[in-house]
Structure 1
Amino acid sequence: MVIRDAGNWKIGQNVNDLIEYARAEGAEGYDVHEIRLCRCATCGGQVFGLHGDLEQQTAKRLCRGCSGEHCIADSGQYWDDTKTGIMVCECDGDADEEDFNIAVGFSLYDGGDGIRALAITSRCVTCGRLGYWDDWMIRSGDMHLLDLA
Structure 2
Amino acid sequence: MVEDGLPRGETFEDLAAFLREPEPGGYPIQEVRECVCRSCGGRSFEVVVAADEGAVRRTCLACGAHDFIGDSDEYWDDAEEHGVCECPCGNETFAAAVGYSLREDGEDVRWLYVALRCLSCGGMGVYEDWKISYGPSLHLLDQA
CA distance in 2, matches of 1:25, 1:48: 26
Q: Which residue pairs with 2:53 in the alignment? A: 56
TM-score (norm 1): 0.89
Cα distance in 1 for residues equivalent to 2:140 and 2:47: 18
Gaps of 5+ in 1: none
Residue in 2 aligned with 1:83?
81
Q: Tell whether 2:27 aligns with 1:30.
A: yes
- Partners of 2:127 and 2:114 lie apart in 1 by 5
Tell me whether 1:123 sits opposite 2:117 in the alignment: yes
Contact kept in structure 1, 2:52 and 2:80, CA below 8 Å: no
SS at match of 1:144: helix
* Structure 2 residue ranges without an equivalent (≥5): none
Identity among equivalent pairs (%): 35
Change (3 A) 1:68 1:82: farther
User: What one-letter code is carried by the residue in structure 2 that aligns with 1:75?
Assistant: S
Aligned length: 142
TM-aligned CA deviation for residue 111 of structure 1: 2.5
TM-score relative to the length of structure 2: 0.92
Q: Distance in 2 between matches of 1:133 and 1:25?
A: 16
